[in-house]
Amino acid sequence: MIAVSGSTHMTFHLPVDTAAAFAFYSDMQRLIPYLPHVRFVRAHADNHLRVCYFAKELTAYDINIYCDILVETDPLAYAIRINPHPGRPSIKPKAGIQAASTYGRYTSESLFFPDSDGTRLEYSLELSASLPEPWALKLVPNSVLNSIASHITNTRIDEIAHQFIKKSAAAIPAWATGNKVTI
């Protein structure tokens, strides 16, 4: 198995008040389109979703990491935490010539703070999994595979976070204008 793990932590500014920012980011299904390499698979309940991290690596190999997540919102603390959902059946790891899939852990935390002309958002994201080795890479030492996988995953996590910030921050002013928020 190849250890896949990446994480990032970022702080950014949103041009809307804290209540509007919190309401916008509280709806995970609304946010998924802003997360590159993450797609919605199904909702088990309002706050329990299955998502899939997907990427084509080295221009030829498809990676799919399925994660069941539980979205917990705390409106008094202006905090949103996304953690693995306990007790859900996992995906059996599978590797082929051009693809691999497995079950993993997706976590994130968003903390909202009033700022002078909007909201400061502290955002962290982490993804980890054990990916089955592709048949073609069986001769490569595990330490080399894990090092390559770690570099690729951290690069992808940074890409996801930066694009998420850019796209969601651009969308929130129009959303806030059309939605009156009271918390």
Q: What region does 132 belong to: left with phi over 0, alpha with psi -120 to 50, or beta?
A: beta
pLDDT computed for residue 167 by the predictor: 94
Local confidence band at 164 (pLDDT 50, 70, 90 cut-offs):
very high
The answer on pLDDT for 112 being more than 60 is yes
Share of residues in the chain with pLDDT > 90 (%) = 56
- For residue range 72-95, list pLDDT tens digits in order: 999 999 999 999 998 766 788 998
Domains and CATH numbers, the chain: 2-178 (3.30.530.20)
CA-closest candidate to residue 127, choices 82, 167, 94, 157: 157
pTM: 0.88
- The DSSP line for 104-173 is EEEEEEEEEEEETTEEEEEEEEEEEEEEPPPGGGTTS-HHHHHHHHHHHHHHHHHHHHHHHHHHHHHHHH
The answer on pLDDT for 183 being more than 60 is no
Q: How far is CA 133 from CA 4, 91, 150, in A?
A: 11, 16, 14
